Amino acid sequence: MIECMIIGDSIAVGVANYRHECEVYAKVGITSHNWNVTNKNVNIEAETVIISLGTNDRLMNTEKELLAIRDRTKATKIVWIIPAKNNKEIVQGVAFESHDKYITIDKTANDGTHPTMAEYKRIAENTK
């Protein structure tokens, strides 16, 4: 089993910049649904899996998509990154109901969505 895997959107890409040891399946702007379709053959299995999805979801069943990912995930530790704005309650709910760890984005860049560089570093450190 690999040590670490990061899956998700641009926030996942940013965290991966500080977790070089992790295998990364992330794409800027991707929705939960599109991540599921694009990565349907990815074996989501690692000691630690870090998930950042939901931020780009609009007019879709985010909870259903996230639960599908969670059902496929085999890990000792799963950490969800809670979006700063869109769908934060849904992502936190999935993490809570699954008894997974989660991290909030406490300081955002000017767009109000993405973490500051220092915040990316903090999030990455707290996923270890």
How many CB atoms are closer than 10 A to CB 32?
Answer: 28
Spell out the domains of the chain, with CATH numbers in brackets.
2-125 (3.40.50.1110)
Closest CA to 12 of 73, 31, 2, 1: 31
Q: What is the pLDDT of residues 56-97, one digit of tens each?
A: 999 999 999 999 999 999 999 999 999 999 999 999 999 999
Question: What's the pLDDT at 80?
Answer: 98
Given a contact cutoff of 8 angstroms between Cβ atoms, the answer to whether 93 and 63 are in contact is: yes
Q: How far apart are the first and last CA of the chain?
A: 16
102 has pLDDT over 90: yes
Supply the DSSP symbol for 39. Answer: T
101 has pLDDT over 90: yes
How many CB atoms are closer than 10 A to CB 112?
Answer: 9
CA–CA–CA angle 4, 127, 35 (5° rounding): 60
Question: What's the pLDDT at 1?
Answer: 84
The H-assigned helical ranges of the chain are 10-16, 32-38, 62-72, 88-97, 117-125
Question: What's the pLDDT at 128?
Answer: 93
Confidence band, pLDDT 50/70/90 cuts, at residue 118: very high
Confidence band, pLDDT 50/70/90 cuts, at residue 23: very high
Question: What's the pLDDT at 43?
Answer: 96
Q: What is the pLDDT of residues 28-63, one digit of tens each?
A: 999 999 999 999 999 999 999 999 999 999 999 999
Question: What pTM did the predictor assign?
Answer: 0.96
